[in-house]
Amino acid sequence: MILEDVATFSSSTLSNNDEIQCVVGSSNICATPSNVSSSIINVTVNPLPTVSAIFTSLSGGVLVAATGFASYQWILNGALISGANSSNYIPLANGNYSVTVTNEFGCENSANAIVGNLSLNEQDLEQISIFPNPSDGIFVLDFGTKVPHSFTILNTLGEIVFINAEVKNSETVNLSHLSSGLYYLTFQRKGTLHTEKLVKY
């Protein structure tokens, strides 16, 4: 039992199904009755969401959180990432990522993931040619002399829309059946993950 002589009661230690009752007393000897009690209030403590975040390069380099929450916000090195509000996020830089989720009760919780194997080598990326880009959905990918074993194309939700496991120096990719918007070409070279943007108009 918690007894507090305050006009406003606040507690962070209440548990689900705890009971609260307010008793108002008067020091005036003429008050009748001298104490007035409220009805008993049963407290409901909603659970925090259970969330995890992992980075998987097997599906093309995607940060993945559990689905089913009311809202998501991805964060990089403490700064909010604009527009990163789905259960999956495709990172374009190495760093410390976290995702904050909100459940149906408005309760929040966060999880962290570290991304450290993205390529930041501009000279290496110059070996890749994508044309035309933007395009109507037909993209020609020229990998030059550094041909990866496979490549994957993802939409902005991190879903795989195209995969090629037998890559040649030059590949033509047809995304004309997909909606207009931004897509991501991802592939690995010597354990390093590369990501390039494809724009379909």
**Final residue in a domain of this structure, among 80, 115, 150:** 115
**Whether residues 102 and 33 fall in one domain:** no
In a domain, 9, yes or no: no
The pLDDT assigned to 153 comes to 94
In a domain, 2, yes or no: no
What DSSP designation does 139 have? E
Q: With 0.85 as the threshold, say if the pTM is over it.
A: no
How many structural domains compose the chain? Answer: 3
List, as one string, the DSSP characters of 156-200.
Answer: TTS-EEEEESS--SEEEEE-TTSPSEEEEEEEEETTEEEEEEEEE
The stretch 62-76 carries a mean pLDDT of 95
**Whether residues 61 and 88 fall in one domain:** yes
Alpha-helical runs (H) found in 116-169: 122-125
In a domain, 96, yes or no: yes
CATH at 130: 2.60.40.3080
Please write the tens of the pLDDT for every residue from 172-188. 999 999 999 999 999 98
**Whether residues 126 and 196 fall in one domain:** yes
In a domain, 7, yes or no: no
**Whether residues 129 and 196 fall in one domain:** yes
**Whether residues 111 and 126 fall in one domain:** no
**Whether residues 103 and 127 fall in one domain:** no
In a domain, 3, yes or no: no
Contact yes or no for 97/113 (Cβ under 8 A): yes
Please write the tens of the pLDDT for every residue from 47-62. 999 999 989 876 568 9
Separation between Cα atoms, residue 29 and residue 34, nearest integer Å: 8
In a domain, 192, yes or no: yes
Contact yes or no for 115/99 (Cβ under 8 A): no
The pLDDT assigned to 185 comes to 93
Q: Quote the domain boundaries for residue 34.
A: 14-45
The stretch 107-128 carries a mean pLDDT of 79
Percentage of the chain beyond pLDDT 90 is: 57
**Whether residues 145 and 190 fall in one domain:** yes
The pLDDT assigned to 133 comes to 95
**Whether residues 109 and 127 fall in one domain:** no
In a domain, 68, yes or no: yes
